Amino acid sequence: MVSLARNEFIDLMALNFRQNGFDDCTSKIVGALYIEPKEISLETLAQKTGYSLSAVSTAMKLIVNMGMIKRIKKPKSRKVYFFMEKDMVSCMLGHMKKNYELSLHMSRDKLPKIIDKYKSEKQDGLNAEFMIIERYYKQVVAFEDVMKNFIDALEHLQHKFSDDKP
């Protein structure tokens, strides 16, 4: 009975991740890692998900780079282990902050310079491009504000759940 509930949870997690654009293999890995109380080896993860070692390894590179999963190397062992934080709010917060800082800040900082170059180039045909870029910049600024508010709300939620820990 427990394994049925466990599998249903893993399937639910995998479905959630597939709906957010992840492929089947990566989604299943996330579900399997989330329910594991301790770190597990790449080989064990491949067995649990039913995917080949190379498919799991490739998927792990992506999700480790995203910061969702930690890669752990144990002393005196050649095996690589993986662990997923069980605090979903913290995971989401870390992911959002990374995207906010890297993508939005970079665009917000570089776009005014690009816009100034367009303004100085007064060439025919560039006006339509200029308007597209200027609109994009306004959207980036607005989206940045929304993301900041969302991150603030997640930090508040994280604080609330940290108070609930035993």
Return d(Cα 39, Cα 87) in angstroms, integer.
Answer: 15
pTM above 0.85, yes or no: no
pLDDT digits 0-9 by tens, 69-107: 899 988 888 889 999 988 878 777 877 787 777 778 888
| Alpha-carbon torsion (131, 136, 137, 139), positive or negative | positive
| Amino acid (one-letter) located at 11 | D
- Tokens read off for 4: 């049925």
Task: Find tokens 């996330």 and name the residue.
Answer: 30
| Residues 100-128, mean pLDDT to the nearest whole number | 82
Q: What is the pLDDT of residue 89?
A: 81
Return d(Cα 166, Cα 160) in angstroms, integer.
Answer: 13
pLDDT digits 0-9 by tens, 8-34: 999 999 999 899 888 999 999 999 999
* CB 13 within 8 Å of CB 49: no
Tell me the C-alpha to C-alpha distance, in Å, between residue 25 and each of 11, 29, 57. 12, 6, 10
| Residues 38-65, mean pLDDT to the nearest whole number | 93
CB atoms within 10 A of CB 129: 12
Q: What is the pLDDT of residue 164?
A: 60
138 has pLDDT over 80: yes
